[in-house]
Amino acid sequence: MSTHSLLILPGDGIGPEVMTEVRKVIAWLAEHRDVHFDVSEDLVGGAAYDVHGVPLHDDTMAKAQAADAILLGAVGGPKYDTLDFSLKPERGLLRLRKEMDLFANLRPAQCFDALADFSSLKRDVVAGLDIVIVRELTSGSYFGEPRGIFK
Residues 6+ away with beta carbon under 8 Å from 24:
none
Residues 6+ away with beta carbon under 8 Å from 48:
42, 54, 55, 56, 57, 60, 89, 92
Q: What is the pTM of this model?
A: 0.81
Q: Is the pLDDT of residue 7 over 80?
A: yes
Residue ranges of domains in the chain: 1-102, 104-151
Backbone angles phi, psi at 93, to 5 degrees: -60, -45
pLDDT computed for residue 14 by the predictor: 94
CA distance 84 to 65: 26
Greater pLDDT, 114 or 149: 114
Greater pLDDT, 4 or 105: 4
For 56-110, how does the pLDDT look when each residue is reduced to its tens digit (9 = 90+)? 999 999 999 999 999 999 999 999 999 999 999 999 999 998 899 887 888 899 9
pLDDT computed for residue 3 by the predictor: 86
CA separation (Å) from 103 to 68, 133, 137, 146, 148? Answer: 16, 13, 5, 20, 23
Percent of the chain at pLDDT above 70?
Answer: 92
In this structure, which topology does domain 1-102 adopt according to CATH?
Answer: Rossmann fold (3.40.50)
CA distance 109 to 94: 23
For 42-60, how does the pLDDT look when each residue is reduced to its tens digit (9 = 90+)? 999 999 999 999 999 999 9
